[in-house]
Amino acid sequence: MKVQPVEINELNASHPTFSSLNEENSLNTSQSSILTQNSNKAERKYALATERKFKLRWILAISCLPLFGIYTAFGIAPQTIIGNVPTTNITEEIILPEMLANDDEVSQQYWYKEHVRRDDTLNSLLSRLNIRNRDAIDYLRSDNIASEIAASLKPGHQIEAQTDIDGNLIALEYQLDRDQFIAINKTSEGYAASKIVHQLEMRPILKSAEIRSSLFGATDDANIPDSIAIQVAEMFESEIDFHSDLRRGDHFNVIYEGSYDDGELLKTGDVLAAEFVNNGKVYRAVGFRDANNQMQYYTPEGKSLHKSFLRSPLEFTRISSGFSLGRFHPVLQRLRAHKGVDMAAPTGTRIKASGDAVVDFVGQKGGYGNVIVLKHDNGVSTVYGHLSRFSAGLRRGAKIAQGEIIGFVGMSGLATGPHLHYEFLLNGKHHDPMKVALPKANPIEPHQRVAFNTISQQMSAQLDLLGVSNIAALD
């Protein structure tokens, strides 16, 4: 029997069983290929992950090197074996200080320092000083010298006291005046009081201030006493109207006396020199004492700054209405010539005569209310209106010196509030008292010129240094 050869492909194609097997083989081959690809991807991912872990381990290892070094340093340090160190006990006798037999023999003392306050009494002052023993309080009231303390209490005066723990007075010292003190000390027989004189040391004090709101605001910021601020204003008042001419940024330098006791400033005195820069213009004044030991002020060249008339009878007042020949009167409600200035001030503020004069009128007059008219030399008259009262004893014909108190601010007559109405007349014609040219006193005497020039050069040099210091501070 002859067998016919059959192609396998044909069998595969013709026989369903082989066809199915072929399909399965083909599918297996495809799946095997896919598995191979997936296996390759997994191997790559694994390799990358392994590489990352390897890098992280190196980074971690490197970062731990400093810690490892520290640990190694401690680890290799030899450990001291305490047990092998020989010890020896040493006994030494300590001699204690001898104790006092009675603790009461140890006394505690306290020092108190105070300054007299406004409305202080002897009792309130002694209370702050912790003085409680009756014999000391009685002594302060009865002794001729010690009792002067209660009779001369002045704000700012200094008082010091030493007491024990129970408030028994041991010593006390009170400032009676500029350099005189009352000293009280406990003795075996009670207390003893005496007056002593401290030789105060006078030193010049140099200060600078800048105007931001007002003159007093500037001096407050610079810790300059009000008395010095007033002196500065009076020195330059003939050149600067401190009511209206001050500008933000104006500044001044001042040198004044300071009296010290054991390094502590007790009191300030006269201004020695000052410089005021107002709206860019520089004004300087140098102090020089006259034959009566009174401080007078001059320019550095020796021209007197003293004036025959005060620019304003009040110190540092607000001008509520400036000089005008056509002013709407707040009470009469109509236009009325206002031939003067109104200076607002609290009721009772003291009013000074602006120059040497004779009282021409004192009393009431229409809208002026209580008014004073002074007649000065050279045809000058001044008027002071709306006063609350006059100084005691003031009468027509009385001679008045410049600066003398003649009355007190009020609101009598046609006035809406307390103020001084001030007029300045020359030969019967009104002039603005804030702007009228005021005659000045004579310059420095010829026989005083050499001494004055020496002081002027010294003070000017110190003012120059203050100016340089201020510029450096601003830079």
Is the Cβ–Cβ distance between 237 and 315 less than 8 Å?
no
- The closest alpha carbon to 250, from 312, 208, 299, belongs to 208
Q: Is the pLDDT of residue 459 over 90?
A: yes
179 and 250: one domain? no
Answer whether residue 256 is part of any domain. yes
Answer yes or no: do 190 and 207 share one domain.
no
- Per-residue model confidence (pLDDT) at position 118: 83
Which tops the pLDDT comparison, 253 or 94? 253
Within a domain: 28: no
Q: Are residues 183 and 220 in the same domain?
A: no
Q: State whether 300 and 230 are in the same domain.
A: yes
Bigger pLDDT: 473 or 323?
A: 473
pLDDT given for residue 433 in this prediction: 83
Identify the burial level of 12 via C-beta atoms within 10 angstroms of its C-beta, where 0-12 means exposed, 13-18 middle and 19 or more buried: middle
Instruction: Check residue 307 and report its DSSP letter.
Output: B
78-82, 193-197, 406-410: lowest mean pLDDT where? 78-82
Domain boundary among 197, 226, 245: 197
* Residue 152 and residue 182 in one domain: yes
Q: Are 337 and 326 in contact (CB under 8 A)?
A: yes
Lowest mean pLDDT among 15-24, 37-46, 118-127, 176-185: 15-24
Question: What is the structure's pLDDT at 230?
Answer: 85
Contacts of 41 (CB under 8 A, 6+ apart): none
Cα 6 to Cα 10, 13, 23, 183, 271, distances in angstroms? 7, 11, 20, 150, 142
CATH number at residue 420: 2.70.70.10
Least confident of 122-136, 238-252, 423-437: 238-252
410: DSSP letter: B
Contact by Cβ (8 Å): 303, 277: no
- Is there a domain that residue 408 lies in? yes
Q: What confidence category does residue 27 fall into, taking pLDDT thresholds of 50, 70 and 90?
A: very low
Pair 445, 411 in one domain: no
Q: What is the CATH number of the domain that holds 158?
A: 3.10.450.350
Is residue 97 one of the residues assigned to a domain? Answer: no
Q: Is 157 found in the same domain as 225?
A: no
Is pLDDT larger for residue 446 or for residue 338? 446
One domain for residues 284 and 360 = no
Q: Are residues 129 and 144 both part of a single domain?
A: yes
Least confident of 24-28, 170-174, 406-410: 24-28
Task: Round to whole Å and give the CA distance between 267 and 257.
Answer: 8
* Residue 289 reports pLDDT greater than 50: yes
- Res 450: pLDDT: 95
Average pLDDT over residues 257-268: 85
Same domain? For 204 and 181 the reply is no
Is residue 425, in this structure, part of any structural domain at all?
Answer: yes
335, part of any domain: yes
Same domain, yes or no: 120 and 222: no
Model confidence at 391: pLDDT above 90: yes
Structural domain span for residue 260: 200-306+440-475
Q: Do residues 362 and 394 make contact, with C-beta atoms less than 8 angstroms apart? A: yes
User: Is the pLDDT score of 295 beyond 80?
Assistant: yes
Give the domain-ending residue among 197, 218, 233. 197
Tell me if 463 sits within 8 A of 275, measured CB to CB.
Answer: yes
Do residues 299 and 305 make contact, with C-beta atoms less than 8 angstroms apart?
Answer: yes
**Torsion angle of alpha carbons 43, 44, 50, 53, nearest 10°?**
-140
**What would the mean pLDDT of 308-312 be, rounded to a whole number?**
82
Of 169, 197, 225, the domain-final residue: 197
Is 3 domain-assigned?
no
Position 81 scores a pLDDT of 53
How many structural domains comprise the chain?
A: 3
pTM of the model: 0.54
pLDDT for the residue numbered 72: 54
Q: pLDDT digits over 77-110, tens only?
A: 555 555 566 767 777 777 766 655 455 544 678 8
Structure-model confidence comparison of residues 341 and 146, the more confident one: 146
Residue 426 lies in a domain: yes
Is residue 169 very low, low, confident or very high in pLDDT (cuts 50, 70, 90)? very high
Res 334 pLDDT > 50: no
Confidence of residue 364 (pLDDT cuts 50, 70, 90): very high
Question: What's the mean pLDDT in 4-24?
Answer: 44
Q: Is the domain of 292 the same as that of 242?
A: yes
